[in-house]
Structure formats: structure tokens, C-alpha cells
Structure 1
Amino acid sequence: MQNALTIDVEEHFQVHNLESAVSRSDWDGHESRVEANVERILELLDRRRTKATFFVLGWVAERHPELVGHIASLGHEVASHGYAHRLVYSQTQQEFADDLERSTAILRDALSRATTPPRWPLRGYRAPSFSITAAAPWALDTIRDAGFCYDSSIMPASGHDRYGMKDVSRFAHASSNGLIECPVSTVRCLGRNWPAAGGGYFRLFPIWFTRWAVRRINSEGHPAVVYLHPWEFDPMQPRIHGPSAWMRFRHYVNLDKTYQRLDDLLGRFTFGPMCEVYADLISGAGESALPRK
């Protein structure tokens, strides 16, 4: 079974775990490491002959348009991660719509400069920190109205301090407005959904757990959706010391293991971009056959 590999393209200093010590107005003063980190991922994917979806932050694309074109010219899918990396539920509906519009314009302009025409159009969106929750009931309509075909912003679990919608289906489905929702992966155990196969969970838990989670999800007849960030492949990134010890731990734990662990997964499972893994659903032809949530 083909699983979905997704990369949320943002700088190491834009992460919400570090925001107490990093002002948005100072972002341009920090060292940019995103190009080198993305290139390392691209080289690994090329060696493993695997394509992925890159959810690119508009702020990054604005400063590195050639990076967006490079990703697309290699046959990977480029999708939107919004512009300013703000939590969706911290914005008004209009602010969110404006953020989507700004990022879309920047990404489309960058894609138009690709040396090779993009294989995939701009179809997907993922919110920063999976911040589409019950606190932003208008979010999916806003994404649909912005012209996106699918969203991958919902974590169908509970217990996290920023995200979670435990009553949403764990697997791809059509929202009531027709937008395809492709939640990131969780496993069902002990009567609840547990996040798996991505981000801090990928770094914190041993690799055997991630392998087990992917196999468990596949055994239920569904693809796993794995998500990572370029900064997670960068153990030498500058340390930011202002946040609490817990927040620093969440950001920096096992950064030296991410590359090897992803290489391990790519050698054991088949992966592809969201537009390929969920092609029938996203195309709209299969939309009417999906359960409505």
C-alpha cells in the first residue's frame, strides 16, 4: 500500500514551541537554514526514488521562490502551509482568508518559475500545528472557498495543548462542504486515538513504534500520513534558550535520528505525495462515495 509522505516547510525559528523567545518581527534576523535542510531531504528522496508533498509556508516561499520551483521540478507536490505560521483559531475568519490568499499568490508565482512545469497543481493546505479545531468552525469552508481541493490540518486525537479533534474520522473523508479531509495518522489503542508517525512523535518514540503504527494503519485498509519538517533534519541548528525546558525538549529531542529513521521507513514502505495517494478522492470523482463528516 502506498502511504503519504509530507514535509511542512518552515524555518527552525518559526516553530510554536519556541515562539515565547522569538518575535515575528525578528524572523528576518535569524539564520535561514531551510534551503540546505530541504536539499538534504530531496537527496534522500531521490536516492529512495520517492516523491512527497511539501506544504510550503508562504513566508519561506516569498524569500526562497527558487526553492519552491526546485521542489516542483523534481516531481514533488507543492501545497500550502499558509503564509505567517499563525494558529488558525487565533485568527478571525477574514484574517485566515487573507493569509490563505497571500500564500496562494506567492506559491503560484514561485511555481510559475519552475524550470520544469509542475506535475501537480496547488490543491492542498495544512494549517500550522494542525490548528483547525472546534474553535475555528469556519476554517474548512474558508479553505474550500480559497480554491483548495483537500486539507490535512486535523489531528483526530485529544490531549495536546494546541490541537486535536478526537471525534473526527481518523481516515480520509469528505467534509460536509465537499472538501476532502486527510487527517495525519493516529493509531487506536486503549479506547483512544494516539498520534503516530510524524514530528515530535517520530523523534521521541523508537523507530519500531513508527513501523508498527504504519503497519497497523495499513492493516485497517488505509494509507498512513507521515509528516516531518526540514528543521528536524538539522541537529546543528542554533539553540534558542528562552523557552521552557519542556518546550526546548519537544523541539530538539533526537534531531540527530530523523534522517536515519526516515531512511529506514522509505526502505520498508512505499510512499508518495498526497495528490497521488488520494488521487481518486481529490479528483472529485470519488467524492460522492465518501462518508460525510
Structure 2
Amino acid sequence: MTIDVEDYFQVSAFAGHIARDSWAQRECRVEANVERILAILDEGGAKATFFTLGWIAERYPALVRRIVAGGHELASHGYGHLRASDQDRGQFMDDVARSKAILEDIGGRPVLGYRAPSFSIGPGNLWALDVLQEAGYRYSSSIYPIAHDHYGMPDAPRFAFHPNGAHGLLEVPITTVRLMERNLPAGGGGYFRLLPYALSRRMMRRVNQADGQPAIFYFHPWELDPGQPRVGGVGVKTRFRHYVNLARMERRIRALTRDFAWDRMDRIFLEGT
């Protein structure tokens, strides 16, 4: 179970409509939404990995400490939600090193994992995986092996792999199912809100039972918040993707905690290695 800790105004699809220099003046809702998530996970006996922005951690250090105190893994989502594909090597190193240092200082724990905003590591910037290893990360969950208009690397392995050999960084892709020679998304996000819950559950069970692999699921705190401020001027597709079925999300996350056993990424993929 993984959560990408960012607020509604930091979503990449809104970047052309919300100026970065306005973030500090926006109504922040991430703290209350993460508190709800922590309560849901606690009630369901689930542990998770929280891929957290350094920008959020600086402003809500107590929230970061509550994540750690709850027995969850603290991991990095970069500092300011810049896509890895929009940075050069030096900029990316600065971003991932800065966020790692902030999170470790506040959380008091080593930060081993990273997830790129909008799954923005792909064929054009695989060098980013080398940078992550140089910065001290042990795993990444930044490649989504699907075809998508904003991200994706459909030819990538569907399950955890070492891009640069057995002793290199581990990449843990978001879960997909294979159907008719195509990978279909099965690990969260807008797809999970759009599709019937029973279908999502069936796909994850198929990965568990037929493939013998753990399912990697992700969502965002703002997805449990139907009352969030609406962003004006966005296109129909973006509006649909962001707002569809927000009111149903909390109920579905609770169902996931009943239907599956969930743990942290580091325990599942790093222990014993």
C-alpha cells in the first residue's frame, strides 16, 4: 500500500493553472486528509509507504512524525513535485538529495525509497535511476508499465527488477494485469476510482494468485476529499480524471484493507537483501 503525499494544488495536471509561487497561499488540506488515511489504515491493520514531498514535510513536520510513529515507511516523492523528465541530471540530483535529507531529519529514519511525480521516469531519462542510487536510495517505484498520454513505459517489466544488475537500485512498478498482449492498470489512481471496485479487486487477486506477486497500489490524500476547492479553467478530460468518484474513495480504501493484507514497500522488497 502506497500513498503519494501531495495536496490537490500540486497535481501535475494543474501545473498550467496554478502557479507554484501561489502554493503557500492556497488552502492546504493534506494534513487532515493524511490523518484520515492513518486512521483507516490503523482500523484495517494495514501498514503503508508514504511517498512524501519535501515541501509538505517542511510545513507539516508533525504529520511526518505521525506517519513514522504509526509504523509506516517514510519515503520520498521529491521536493516540489517536479517531474523527473523536466529536470536535467544535476537538477534531479539536487531535488532527490534535498527531499531525502529533509525527510530523514524530520522523521528520524533512513529514507530508502523514491517515487517520481507522475511516474516520470521512462525511456528518455533512465539515467535518473543511476542518480537515485548515487543519492543513497535503495529502491524506486517510478515506472508504470502502461501506455498513457502523460507517462508510462509499456515495455518495462511488470514486476520488481534491477535495471542495472543485481546489486543496483530496485525498481518496483505499479501493478498491471496482462490481457491480449497489453498491460492494463490495476494499481490505483483514477482507474481505481473509475472502475467498479469488484473489477479492481479481481485484478489484484489475479496478480496475487496467478502471477504469485504482491500488488502495488497507490493513491493520493486529495482523492479522499470531495470537498476540496475546484480548480477553474481545466479541460474536460483533466477535470474528469481528477474529480471522478472522489466521494466513493474512502469507502473503497476501507474495503481494500478488509479484502487484502497490506504492508510497507521496504519490508516486502528489501528485507533479507
Equivalent AA in structure 2 for residue 222 of structure 1: Q
- In the other structure, the counterpart of 1:263 is 254
Q: Is residue 13 from structure 1 mapped to residue 1 from structure 2 by the alignment? A: no
- Report the TM-score, using the length of structure 1 for normalisation: 0.90
**2:236 alignment partner, one of 245, 253, 260:** 245
Tell me what 2:145 maps to: 156
CA distance in 2 between counterparts of 1:190 and 1:122 reads 38
Task: Deviation per CA, 1:81-125: give whole Å up to 9, x if none.
Answer: 00010111111011000001111111111113xxxxx5xx31100
Contact kept? 1:56, 1:79, Cα under 8 Å: yes
SS of alignment partner, residue 83 of structure 1: coil
**What is the correspondence of 1:25-36 to structure 2 with a 5 Å cutoff?**
25-36=21-32
Q: Give the equivalent residue in structure 2 for 1:124.
A: 113
4+ aligned runs moved over 6 Å, structure 1: none
Shift of 1:9: 0.1
The residue correspondences of 1:165-244 to structure 2 (distance < 5 A) are: 165-177=153-165, 178-219=168-209, 220-244=211-235
Tell me which amino acid in the other structure corresponds to 1:215.
R
Higher relative contact order (CA 8 A, sep 6+): 1
Per the alignment, in what secondary structure is the counterpart of residue 242 of structure 1? Answer: coil
**C-alpha displacement of 1:279:** 3.2
> Per-residue deviation at 1:213?
1.1
Alignment match, 1:83: 79
State the match for 1:70 in structure 2. Answer: 66
| Mapped partners of 1:242, 1:58: distance in 2 | 28
- CA–CA distance in 1 between the matches of 2:135 and 2:144? 21
Give the aligned partner of residue 39 of structure 1. 35
Name the structure 2 match of 1:135.
124
Give secondary structure in 2 for the equivalent of 1:272.
coil
Asked whether the equivalents of residues 241 and 248 of structure 1 are also in contact (C-alpha less than 8 Å), the reply is no
Q: Deviations over 1:206-236 (max 9, x none)?
A: 1011101111111211000000000001010
- Alpha-carbon distance in structure 2 between the residues aligned to 1:58 and 1:161: 27
Aligned residues: 270
Offset of residue 32 of structure 1: 0.5
CA distance in 1 between counterparts of 2:69 and 2:38 reads: 11
**1:215-273, CA deviations, whole angstroms, 9 ceiling, x for partnerless residues?**
11112110000000000010100101121121111111100111101111111111111
Partner of 1:290: none
Distance across 2 between alignment mates of 1:70 and 1:266: 20
- Cα separation, 1, equivalents of 2:22 and 2:244: 25
Quote how far apart the aligned CAs of 1:15 are.
0.4
Amino acid aligned to 1:248? R
Residues 187 and 194 in structure 1, CA contact (< 8 A), matched pair in contact too: yes
**RMSD value, Cα:** 1.0
Q: Distance in 1 between matches of 2:260 and 2:63?
A: 27
Q: Secondary structure at the match of 1:174?
A: coil
TM-score (norm 2): 0.96
Whole-Å separation in 2 of the counterparts to 1:92 and 1:191: 34
What is the CA–CA distance in structure 2 between the aligned matches of 1:245 and 1:163, rounded to whole Å? 19
Shift of 1:197: 2.4
Corresponding residue to 1:95 among 63, 66, 91? 91
- Counterpart AA for 1:106: I
Q: What is the CA–CA distance in structure 2 between the aligned matches of 1:168 and 1:105, rounded to whole Å?
A: 30
Q: Secondary structure at the match of 2:81?
A: coil
Structure 2: 5+ residue runs without aligned partners? Answer: none
